[in-house]
Chains A and B, each alone.
Chain A
Amino acid sequence: MTLVAGFAAVVLLILITWKVLAGARLSWDTFGVGFITATTWNPNTAVFGAGVFIFGTALTSFFALLVAGPIAIAIALFLTELAPAWIRSPVGALVEMLASVPSVVLGLWGILVMGPWVVSTLSPVLGTLLGWTPFFDGKQSVGSSQLSAVLILTIMVVPIVSSICRELFTNVPAELKEGALALGATRWEMIRGVVFPYARAGIAAALVLGLGRAVGEAIAVTQVIGGGTNISFNLFATGDTLGSKIASSYSSAGTDLERSSLVYLAVLLLVFSLIVNVAAQFIVRRVARRQQGRT
């Protein structure tokens, strides 16, 4: 009986892959591989392509990770190396609690509270400071934008990455840290010279898992990204991601071909998340094996 349950995950994975592929069959037969790069999504002419959404996913996830990565690592450092013991567990619990806020609530907050703030405060500042890059062109006039999506994704990714990093940093052998400090290194030099090299592979895995989370999030992104139909590097513009397109268009999909094309988008997400997770688990396992060998 336990054996059957043990294989449940395997069976589900196979079933998920098979069924989702089957659902995308019609769209695959119609558009083939070209679907991935085609940038038109027009239900009226029955022409569908994933290009815009793949671009939007890549852009928002990239920036979310760019912001969230350093913040998450810094939080993990604070919780393992800096904070006095009595502060560690409550602050750690609060950071993890951020991960348990339902994404739909975060999206609600994102559109009704954060959106107006981004328009009035953040976007003018970013526009002035970073207006010379293609990413912050002009200013944002409505609350929904790719920038809002980046911020919401950042909030979702930070707790995940930081809780993994926290565990990694805790596992750095104390004698290595103490050795560095005894040689006269400052705390930061000890972190750079001992903690980071020791945890490097694990940090990479944590970032990869964070990326997987950012790419796969659909609901909160749907709520704040605004459903743009063009490829734009400008974060102040609206956009759409694979997940948000599925979530926002599913109920209005009128034809079998459109529905099948939405499933095709899910196939792309599925393939990506399989690759990301297998890669991250592979890194994690290698690190674990290496560390077991040490002790």
Chain B
Amino acid sequence: MSTRVEPPYSLGSERLRRRKAVNVVMEVMATLAALLAVAVLVIVVVSVLKKGIGAINLDFFTQTTTSSFGFGGPTSSGIANAIVGSLVIVFFAVLMALPVGILAAIFLNEFASPRLRAPLQLALDVLNGIPAIVIGIFVFVLLVIGSGQSALKASFALAILMLPLVARSTQEVLALVPDSLREASLALGAAKWRTTLSIVLPQAVGGIITGATLATARIAGETAPLLFTSSLVTNDVNWSPTHPLMTMPYFIFYASESADPTLQEQAWATALVLIAFVLVASTIARYLGLRSRRRRTGKR
């Protein structure tokens, strides 16, 4: 804020050049930052692909991790048991988290009074921010001490992580359903619960599925809670949810600490399977979500 009056013209060209130069520098830096992020993603995915693809064959999916896992020098030939374990644990986690998350979102968006809504929403957001490892410790203290590990306990831990994700995405979809539809239904004499069930939910179901798929992909790769709930594992394929089961994330975690090159390659291949599942699932979910949103807004 200088008070000196400058002749605008000569000064302008000099300063303008500098201002434009600063502008260009900043624009280039912002572009580079975006490129850097994309590059890191590409590098990670390509390394996983390159190092993992060699170990992928039919045996990898049909054989189990071999030898005495966890007691030195194991060489594994497949991850069938880890795939099964991940499926079982994630399945039960979704079974627990999905209904509760959707119902919670319906309550918050359709039924709760604003006074009640604010603290409940805060609780949901705060729950979302609690580190996975703390959730793992919680389930460990609550359920594992004294009675041992099991896949169901792991599912419970993952469900806690999944609950706020499902609730949040469902809320977002519910908020997109136009109020005019609700009002029309209520004006016709339908009860509130009838309106929610027959008018609001059918409109939102596509978005809810999208959100649920993204949340499932997220928790399928989660490792921290499994350390406490499903890590004392065996090498045989086991579908029983009452036993601790081998999972893909835990196998990667274990194998990444090992110096055995065979095991490392197995870890890369497992990472490839996991990352493919996560990326494919979230890409499809995003695409479907985009399409259903477009259709809805187009129809209106």
Contacts and interface: CB of A to CB of B under 8 A. Distances in A.
Contact of B107 (A2, A105, A189, A223): A2
Question: Could you tell me the dominant secondary structure of chain A's interface residues?
Answer: helix
Nearest to A281: B125
A209 B126 CA distance: 11
A33 interface: no
B262 to A, nearest CB: 14
A283 to B, nearest CB: 12
B33 A75 contact: yes
Q: Which 9 residue pairs are nearest across A and B when measured between Cβ atoms?
A: A102-B221, A216-B131, A5-B103, A6-B107, A277-B129, A74-B33, A2-B107, A23-B141, A186-B23
B120 A270 contact: no
B133 interface: yes
B111 A74 contact: no
A209 B34 contact: no
Interface string A235-258: 000000001001100110000000
Nearest to A251: B231
Contacts of B43: 113
A78 B33 contact: yes
Contact of A91 (B34, B127, B133, B264): B34
Contacts of B252: 104-105, 108
Interface string B105-149: 011101110001001101111111111111101101110010000
A112 B264 contact: yes
Contact of A162 (B37, B271, B282): B37
A216 B133 contact: yes
Contact of B130 (A16, A75, A187, A191): A16
A267 to B, nearest CB: 9
A243 B120 CA distance: 28
A106 B271 CA distance: 9
B205 interface: no
Interface of A: 1-10, 12-13, 15-16, 19-20, 22-23, 70-72, 74-75, 77-79, 81-83, 91, 93-95, 97-98, 100-109, 111-113, 155, 158-159, 162, 186-189, 191, 209, 212, 215-219, 223, 243, 246-247, 250-251, 262-263, 266, 269-270, 273-274, 276-278, 280-281
Nearest to B41: A98
B227 A102 contact: no
A195 B116 CA distance: 34
B293 interface: no
A219 B20 CA distance: 45
A247 B254 CA distance: 11
Given A102-B274, A189-B23, A273 B38 contact: no
A82 B31 contact: yes
Nearest to B119: A10
Contacts of A108: 252, 256, 267-268, 271
26 contacts: A2-B106, A6-B120, A9-B164, A10-B119, A12-B127, A75-B37, A82-B27, A97-B279, A100-B217, A100-B278, A101-B44, A101-B45, A102-B220, A103-B223, A104-B252, A108-B252, A108-B256, A186-B23, A189-B19, A212-B129, A216-B129, A217-B131, A243-B133, A251-B231, A278-B122, A278-B126
Nearest to A23: B141
Contact of A20 (B37, B48, B124, B134): B134
Contact of A186 (B19, B47, B101): B19
B126 A5 contact: no
A95 B142 contact: no
Contacts of A162: 37
A216 B112 CA distance: 32
A2 B108 CA distance: 9
Contacts of B134: 16, 20, 216, 266, 269-270, 273
B168 to A, nearest CB: 11
B279 A100 contact: yes
Contacts of B138: 15-16, 19-20, 266
Nearest to A117: B43
A269 B48 CA distance: 31
Most chain-A Cβ atoms within 10 A of its Cβ — which of B48, B131, B135? B131
Given A2-B103, A101-B44, A102-B222, A94 B26 contact: no
A104 B221 contact: yes
